[in-house]
Copies of this chain bind each other. A is one copy, B any other.
Amino acid sequence: MNRIMRPSAWERETLMGLPLLSRLELDTLSAMLEIATVRTIGPRQVLFREGDLADTLYCVLSGYVRSFHLSPLGREVDLLVHEPGDLIGASACLHGHAYCASAQATDSVKIVQFSLQRVRELAARKPDLALALAAGLSGQFAGSLSTLADDRLHTAPQRVAHYLKKQCPQGSRNVSFRLPYQKNLLAGKLGLAPEALSRAFSHLKRYGVSVRGRLVQVNDPEALQSV
Protein backbone atom coordinates (compact mmCIF):
# COMPACT_ATOMS: atom_id res chain seq x y z
CA MET A 1 0.00 0.00 0.00
CA ASN A 2 3.01 2.26 0.33
CA ARG A 3 3.90 4.60 -2.42
CA ILE A 4 7.58 5.46 -2.45
CA MET A 5 8.91 7.99 -4.87
CA ARG A 6 11.17 10.81 -5.76
CA PRO A 7 9.52 14.12 -4.95
CA SER A 8 7.40 15.44 -7.78
CA ALA A 9 7.46 19.11 -8.72
CA TRP A 10 4.43 19.77 -6.56
CA GLU A 11 5.97 17.97 -3.66
CA ARG A 12 9.25 19.82 -4.00
CA GLU A 13 7.21 22.95 -3.47
CA THR A 14 5.75 21.53 -0.25
CA LEU A 15 9.09 20.27 0.93
CA MET A 16 10.68 23.66 0.59
CA GLY A 17 8.12 25.06 2.97
CA LEU A 18 9.18 22.72 5.78
CA PRO A 19 10.87 24.35 8.75
CA LEU A 20 13.74 21.93 8.30
CA LEU A 21 14.40 22.95 4.73
CA SER A 22 13.05 26.44 4.27
CA ARG A 23 16.03 28.29 5.69
CA LEU A 24 18.75 26.28 4.05
CA GLU A 25 21.22 27.64 1.57
CA LEU A 26 20.56 26.62 -1.99
CA ASP A 27 23.23 23.97 -2.31
CA THR A 28 22.35 22.39 1.04
CA LEU A 29 18.72 22.39 0.06
CA SER A 30 19.36 20.65 -3.21
CA ALA A 31 21.57 18.10 -1.51
CA MET A 32 18.73 17.35 0.89
CA LEU A 33 16.17 17.12 -1.90
CA GLU A 34 18.54 14.74 -3.61
CA ILE A 35 18.30 12.26 -0.74
CA ALA A 36 14.62 12.86 0.06
CA THR A 37 12.03 10.16 -0.47
CA VAL A 38 8.33 10.82 -0.20
CA ARG A 39 6.12 8.07 1.19
CA THR A 40 2.46 7.69 1.90
CA ILE A 41 1.64 5.39 4.76
CA GLY A 42 -1.71 3.97 5.66
CA PRO A 43 -3.71 4.23 8.88
CA ARG A 44 -2.21 2.45 11.88
CA GLN A 45 0.90 1.52 10.01
CA VAL A 46 4.01 1.58 12.15
CA LEU A 47 6.95 3.68 11.01
CA PHE A 48 9.38 2.20 13.47
CA ARG A 49 9.46 0.68 16.90
CA GLU A 50 11.16 1.72 20.08
CA GLY A 51 14.57 0.11 20.12
CA ASP A 52 14.86 -0.29 16.35
CA LEU A 53 18.12 0.77 14.85
CA ALA A 54 17.67 4.42 13.91
CA ASP A 55 18.66 4.85 10.29
CA THR A 56 16.05 7.25 8.98
CA LEU A 57 14.94 10.78 9.74
CA TYR A 58 11.31 11.55 8.93
CA CYS A 59 9.40 14.74 8.46
CA VAL A 60 5.62 14.96 8.27
CA LEU A 61 4.11 16.51 5.16
CA SER A 62 0.45 15.91 5.89
CA GLY A 63 -1.54 13.98 8.46
CA TYR A 64 -0.56 13.08 12.01
CA VAL A 65 1.84 10.59 13.50
CA ARG A 66 1.77 9.53 17.10
CA SER A 67 4.85 8.59 19.13
CA PHE A 68 4.35 6.26 22.04
CA HIS A 69 6.13 4.13 24.57
CA LEU A 70 5.28 0.55 25.35
CA SER A 71 5.44 -0.44 29.01
CA PRO A 72 6.85 -3.83 29.96
CA LEU A 73 3.26 -4.93 30.60
CA GLY A 74 2.11 -3.95 27.16
CA ARG A 75 0.38 -0.70 28.04
CA GLU A 76 0.85 2.14 25.57
CA VAL A 77 1.51 5.74 26.56
CA ASP A 78 1.21 8.48 24.01
CA LEU A 79 4.02 10.98 24.12
CA LEU A 80 3.71 13.27 21.14
CA VAL A 81 1.56 13.89 18.13
CA HIS A 82 3.68 14.98 15.22
CA GLU A 83 1.98 17.49 12.97
CA PRO A 84 2.88 18.54 9.45
CA GLY A 85 6.35 20.08 9.46
CA ASP A 86 7.52 18.14 12.51
CA LEU A 87 10.59 15.97 12.56
CA ILE A 88 10.31 12.37 13.68
CA GLY A 89 13.25 10.46 15.02
CA ALA A 90 15.27 13.61 15.49
CA SER A 91 16.16 12.73 19.05
CA ALA A 92 17.90 9.64 17.75
CA CYS A 93 19.47 11.67 15.00
CA LEU A 94 22.58 12.72 16.82
CA HIS A 95 22.33 10.99 20.09
CA GLY A 96 21.69 7.27 20.25
CA HIS A 97 21.57 4.64 17.58
CA ALA A 98 18.08 3.45 18.47
CA TYR A 99 14.70 5.14 18.33
CA CYS A 100 13.48 5.84 21.83
CA ALA A 101 9.78 5.58 21.03
CA SER A 102 7.54 3.89 18.50
CA ALA A 103 5.82 5.88 15.76
CA GLN A 104 2.52 5.08 14.12
CA ALA A 105 0.41 6.80 11.48
CA THR A 106 -2.99 7.82 12.78
CA ASP A 107 -4.53 8.05 9.37
CA SER A 108 -3.21 8.33 5.89
CA VAL A 109 0.03 10.25 6.29
CA LYS A 110 2.45 11.70 3.81
CA ILE A 111 6.05 11.93 4.96
CA VAL A 112 9.52 12.61 3.61
CA GLN A 113 12.34 10.43 4.75
CA PHE A 114 16.07 10.96 4.70
CA SER A 115 18.89 8.56 5.35
CA LEU A 116 20.19 9.46 8.77
CA GLN A 117 23.67 8.53 7.68
CA ARG A 118 23.53 10.99 4.80
CA VAL A 119 22.00 13.72 6.93
CA ARG A 120 24.78 13.33 9.46
CA GLU A 121 27.43 13.52 6.81
CA LEU A 122 25.86 16.55 5.24
CA ALA A 123 25.33 18.32 8.55
CA ALA A 124 28.97 17.77 9.40
CA ARG A 125 29.87 19.93 6.41
CA LYS A 126 26.95 22.33 6.34
CA PRO A 127 26.31 24.43 9.42
CA ASP A 128 22.99 25.66 8.10
CA LEU A 129 21.64 22.12 8.11
CA ALA A 130 23.07 21.36 11.54
CA LEU A 131 21.43 24.52 12.86
CA ALA A 132 18.12 23.67 11.24
CA LEU A 133 18.22 20.29 12.97
CA ALA A 134 19.12 21.93 16.24
CA ALA A 135 16.27 24.39 15.83
CA GLY A 136 13.82 21.57 15.21
CA LEU A 137 15.04 19.69 18.25
CA SER A 138 14.93 22.84 20.28
CA GLY A 139 11.28 23.39 19.46
CA GLN A 140 10.35 19.82 20.24
CA PHE A 141 12.27 19.93 23.48
CA ALA A 142 10.49 23.08 24.57
CA GLY A 143 7.21 21.46 23.60
CA SER A 144 7.84 18.35 25.64
CA LEU A 145 8.80 20.42 28.66
CA SER A 146 5.64 22.41 28.42
CA THR A 147 3.63 19.19 28.17
CA LEU A 148 5.37 17.94 31.27
CA ALA A 149 4.57 21.14 33.14
CA ASP A 150 0.98 20.98 31.96
CA ASP A 151 0.66 17.38 33.18
CA ARG A 152 2.10 18.15 36.56
CA LEU A 153 0.24 21.36 37.15
CA HIS A 154 -3.21 21.20 35.64
CA THR A 155 -6.30 19.05 36.02
CA ALA A 156 -7.96 17.34 33.10
CA PRO A 157 -10.48 20.11 32.36
CA GLN A 158 -7.71 22.69 32.58
CA ARG A 159 -5.54 20.82 30.13
CA VAL A 160 -8.39 20.48 27.70
CA ALA A 161 -9.31 24.14 28.09
CA HIS A 162 -5.71 25.06 27.46
CA TYR A 163 -5.63 22.93 24.33
CA LEU A 164 -8.83 24.47 23.00
CA LYS A 165 -7.61 27.96 23.69
CA LYS A 166 -4.48 27.33 21.67
CA GLN A 167 -6.63 26.34 18.71
CA CYS A 168 -8.57 29.59 18.77
CA PRO A 169 -7.22 32.69 17.06
CA GLN A 170 -6.12 35.35 19.53
CA GLY A 171 -8.96 37.53 20.77
CA SER A 172 -11.66 35.87 18.68
CA ARG A 173 -15.16 34.88 19.78
CA ASN A 174 -17.63 32.15 18.80
CA VAL A 175 -14.94 30.06 17.21
CA SER A 176 -15.82 26.69 15.81
CA PHE A 177 -13.47 24.13 14.37
CA ARG A 178 -12.90 20.45 13.80
CA LEU A 179 -10.58 18.45 16.01
CA PRO A 180 -7.66 17.37 13.83
CA TYR A 181 -7.78 13.77 15.03
CA GLN A 182 -9.80 11.29 17.03
CA LYS A 183 -10.66 11.99 20.64
CA ASN A 184 -8.87 8.85 21.54
CA LEU A 185 -5.61 10.32 20.32
CA LEU A 186 -6.31 13.74 21.76
CA ALA A 187 -6.82 12.08 25.14
CA GLY A 188 -3.47 10.34 24.79
CA LYS A 189 -1.72 13.53 23.81
CA LEU A 190 -3.09 15.25 26.88
CA GLY A 191 -2.12 12.35 29.11
CA LEU A 192 -5.70 11.34 29.85
CA ALA A 193 -7.81 8.23 29.58
CA PRO A 194 -10.51 8.66 26.90
CA GLU A 195 -13.17 8.67 29.61
CA ALA A 196 -11.47 11.54 31.35
CA LEU A 197 -11.40 13.58 28.15
CA SER A 198 -15.08 12.94 27.67
CA ARG A 199 -15.84 14.08 31.20
CA ALA A 200 -13.64 17.11 30.79
CA PHE A 201 -15.58 18.17 27.70
CA SER A 202 -18.83 17.81 29.52
CA HIS A 203 -17.42 19.81 32.41
CA LEU A 204 -16.47 22.57 29.97
CA LYS A 205 -20.05 23.03 28.79
CA ARG A 206 -20.52 25.50 31.59
CA TYR A 207 -17.70 27.59 30.15
CA GLY A 208 -19.35 27.87 26.78
CA VAL A 209 -17.82 24.91 25.01
CA SER A 210 -20.00 22.61 22.95
CA VAL A 211 -18.87 19.48 21.22
CA ARG A 212 -20.64 17.33 18.65
CA GLY A 213 -18.46 14.60 17.24
CA ARG A 214 -15.25 16.26 16.15
CA LEU A 215 -16.88 19.67 15.86
CA VAL A 216 -16.09 22.04 18.68
CA GLN A 217 -17.57 25.45 19.33
CA VAL A 218 -15.94 27.79 21.79
CA ASN A 219 -18.05 30.71 22.83
CA ASP A 220 -15.46 32.82 24.56
CA PRO A 221 -11.86 31.55 24.44
CA GLU A 222 -10.83 34.01 27.13
CA ALA A 223 -13.31 32.50 29.55
CA LEU A 224 -11.35 29.24 29.36
CA GLN A 225 -8.62 30.94 31.33
CA SER A 226 -10.63 30.62 34.50
CA VAL A 227 -11.35 26.88 34.37
Using a CB–CB cutoff of 8 Å, the interface residues on chain A facing chain B are 67, 69, 71, 75, 77, 79-80, 90-96, 100-101, 123-128, 130-131, 133-135, 137-142, 144-149, 151-153, 191
Contact = CB atoms under 8 A, between A and B. Distances in A.
B79 A142 contact: no
Contacts of A67: 145
A69 B149 contact: yes
A91 B141 contact: yes
Nearest to A141: B141
B95 A138 contact: yes
Contact of A144 (B71, B127, B144, B191): B144
A149 B77 contact: yes
Given A94-B131, A127-B126, A151-B152, A145 B77 contact: no
